[in-house]
A and B are shown apart, each in its own frame.
Chain A
């Protein structure tokens, strides 16, 4: 059973529809007590870093998420849900992220902002989940991990940035697999 964390701003319907299409059992999780009802967790992401972190603090989900990850349980972060794993973001000064991975989230300084559209991922290490493929991106900020080894794929948007990471039980993507057509669905299937 996959749990989708609903933090009130995110559009989780598309993710639900994607998992349903793949016939993967899923449920919406809106408080940390429900974590025990699922064995995989997805933190989706649409909106803003500050608003999301404030909400997660408000509903006391920060520690439960950190503990889930520390317990080596499967976790997928998408877009903002990937950015949240880091220490902080240029989008929200003074606000701490989940601090599970070291590094910061930075704003694009070159090209049009946001990056909107289809771009490709390039694998930089072996992975059973990530592949070289077109996915849909829509973001103004990108994570900048301190540890290069966790980076699974990079994408070029005037600079090469870490578009996907994979370390033990944590997988996270800057792209939206639930909006990336057939290839996106295939990614979700491989992760599950």
Chain B
């Protein structure tokens, strides 16, 4: 049988001042904090894409990010997305021209929705990922910005529809409630978002067991699973996850 578009496993690395935070503890690596070394390692392990989130606190960090992107692009030949503090067209342009395939916008998109439309028109929707962090309030999901600290009062489903209309090519949806807990993904959240938009959706927040990843990727509208903690703290590698999923009938890229 011909294999068609497969679901993706996407490791996520938090980078601060050019170093990976909570880096994976691999003895083989000379520098467990180097984003490029880790990127290459995940690349070699058949990760389908990578996401680098810059959590450096300073405002004037564009050059650091640009330098990092250039170094990553010299060694990593799978698609990677850069996110974290991108606010202007110039920020986006600098990152894309340095070699990143996509940029992820979160707070900036909420503060300035026209940025989404402008960026999509200038660079193409396929380069623009809108990251949406949400918390469940008992009856709906609300959008949070500023690294999950500020409740915008926006409804997640309405916001998702709006950003797609503005030109977002892909959504990276994170459940703040599940993030870092390894207790499984919020399945209902993704079913809901999948029912209102028609762009690829990356699920994030809650990857803990192999079964949790199987569960989320079995949701029809979910196209990829993003994970961080599961690689950082447990013994699972990307290869382990893909082997398990393949055995369970979910085709993976080999």
Complex alpha-carbon distance, A117 and B73, angstroms: 18
Whether A11 touches B198, Cβ cut-off 8 Å, given contacts A18-B77, A47-B124, A119-B5, is: no
Chain A residues near B199: list those with CB within 8 A. 112-114
On chain A, which size bracket covers the interface?
35 or more
* B253 adjacent to A118 (CB under 8 Å): yes
Q: Interface stretch among B25-33, B92-100, B150-158?
A: B92-100
**Which residues of A sit under 8 angstroms from B123, Cβ to Cβ?**
9, 47
B4 and A14 within 8 A (CB): no
Residues in B neighbouring A179, C-beta threshold 8 A: 77-79, 101
Q: A140 — which chain B residues lie within 8 A by C-beta?
A: 125-126
Interchain CB contact (< 8 A) of A46 among B77, B127, B169: B127
Q: How far is the CB of B156 from chain A (nearest CB, A)?
A: 19
Which of A11, A137, A178 is in CB contact (< 8 Å) with B97?
A11
B4 — which chain A residues lie within 8 A by C-beta? 119-120, 156-157
Q: Is the CB of A17 within 8 A of B6?
A: no
Complex partner residue of A134 from B125, B198, B253, CB under 8 angstroms: B253
- Contact for A112 among B98, B127, B223, CB less than 8 A: B223
Given A122-B2, A134-B253, A117-B48 contact (CB < 8 Å): yes
Interface assignment of B117: CB less than 8 Å from any CB of chain A: no
Interface residues of B in 99-124 (CB under 8 A from A): 99, 101, 123-124
Could you tell me the distance between the alpha carbons of A180 and B199 in the complex, rounded to whole angstroms? Answer: 21
Whether a CB of chain B sits under 8 angstroms from the CB of A23 is: no
Majority DSSP secondary structure for residues of B touching A:
loop
- Give the residue name and chain of the A residue nearest to B46 (CB): A181
Q: Tell which of A13, A21, A113, A118 touches B5, judged by Cβ atoms closer than 8 Å.
A: A118
A120 to B254, CA, bound (A): 10
| B3 is an interface residue with CB less than 8 A from chain A | yes
A178 CA / B200 CA spacing, docked (Å) = 22
Q: In the assembly, what is the distance between CA of A21 and CA of B96, in Å?
A: 20
Once the chains bind, are B8 and A117 in contact (CB under 8 Å)?
A: yes
Closest chain-A Cβ to B93's Cβ sits at a distance in Å of: 10
A117 touches B5 (CB 8 A): yes
Chain A CB within 8 A of B204 CB: no
A118 touches B8 (CB 8 A): yes
Residues of A within 8 A of B170 (CB): 116
Verify A115–B198 contact, CB threshold 8 A: no
Among A118, A134, A156, the one with the most B-chain Cβ atoms within 10 Å of its Cβ is A118
Q: Is B229 an interface residue (CB 8 A)?
A: no
Residues of A within 8 A of B223 (CB): 112, 116-117
Q: Which residues of chain A are within 8 angstroms of B74 by Cβ–Cβ distance? A: 17, 20
Q: Pick the most buried of A13, A119, A156: most chain B CB atoms within 10 A of its CB.
A: A13
Are B73 and A17 closer than 8 Å at their CB atoms?
A: yes
Whether, in the assembled complex, A48 has its beta carbon less than 8 Å from a beta carbon of chain B, the answer is: yes
B residues less than 8 Å from A181 (CB atoms): 43, 46, 77-78
Residues of A within 8 A of B176 (CB): none
In the complex, residue of chain B having the shortest beta-carbon distance to the beta carbon of A119: B5
Q: Does A136 contact B (CB under 8 A)?
A: yes
How many whole Å from A118's CB to the nearest CB in chain B? 4
* A157-B124 in contact (CB<8A): no
Q: Please tell me if B224 contacts chain A, counting CB pairs below 8 Å.
A: yes
How far is B3's CA from A122's CA once the two chains are assembled, in angstroms? 9
Query: What chain A residues lie within 8 Å of B73 (beta carbons)?
Result: 13-14, 17
B221, closest chain A residue (CB): A112
CB-CB < 8 A to B97: which residues of A?
A: 11, 13
One digit per residue, 1 when the CB lies within 8 angstroms of any chain A CB and 0 when it does not, for chain B 127-160 equals 1000000000000000000000000000000000
Q: Does A77 contact B (CB under 8 A)?
A: no
Q: List 18 A-B contacts (CB under 8 A).
A: A13-B70, A13-B97, A20-B74, A46-B127, A48-B124, A113-B199, A114-B126, A114-B200, A116-B126, A116-B169, A116-B223, A118-B8, A118-B48, A119-B5, A119-B6, A120-B2, A120-B3, A182-B77
Going nearest first, the 7 A-B pairs with the smallest beta carbon separation are A118-B253, A13-B99, A119-B5, A134-B253, A116-B200, A138-B126, A120-B3
**Residue ranges of A at the interface with B (Cβ–Cβ < 8 Å):** 9, 11, 13-14, 17-18, 20-21, 46-48, 112-120, 122, 134, 136-140, 156-157, 178-182, 184-185
